[in-house]
């Protein structure tokens, strides 16, 4: 496959299957390599990739082929209280620019505090 074909194939995949995650792509590639979607000989072309991807997407819709999902991270109440809005962050940056020592300390990474 030429470099141009590769980039065109990537653009097709991204526009046709925007819901695919990096884990989905990795699982898809592994399944192609083991011949899950059928054999391929020599070079693999964009048409074959898209045909295999159609099969993979159909499996995903049926719930047979999704990559393992990690549970969403649990945010403790203490961590949630530390969350700031972008406007609050901008205010701290403004205060730090004017030399406010407390604002400067707040902008330091946790290990530097």
The tens digit of pLDDT for each residue in 57-86 reads 898 888 765 555 566 667 676 666 667 788
What pLDDT band is residue 39 in, cutting at 50, 70 and 90? confident
CA distance 3 to 9: 10
pTM of the model: 0.52
Give the pLDDT score at 47. 86
């Amino acid at each position: 496959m030429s470099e141009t074909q590769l980039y065109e194939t990537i653009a097709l995949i991204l526009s046709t299957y925007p819901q695919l995650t990096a884990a989905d792509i990795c699982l898809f590639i592994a399944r192609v390599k083991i011949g899950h979607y059928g054999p391929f000989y020599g070079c693999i072309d964009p048409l074959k990739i898209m045909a295999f991807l159609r099969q993979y997407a159909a499996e995903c819709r049926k719930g047979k082929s999704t990559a393992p999902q990690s549970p969403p991270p649990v945010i403790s109440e203490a961590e949630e209280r530390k969350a700031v809005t972008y406007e609050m962050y901008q205010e701290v940056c403004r205060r730090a620019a004017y030399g406010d020592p407390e604002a400067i300390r707040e902008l330091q990474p946790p290990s530097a505090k």
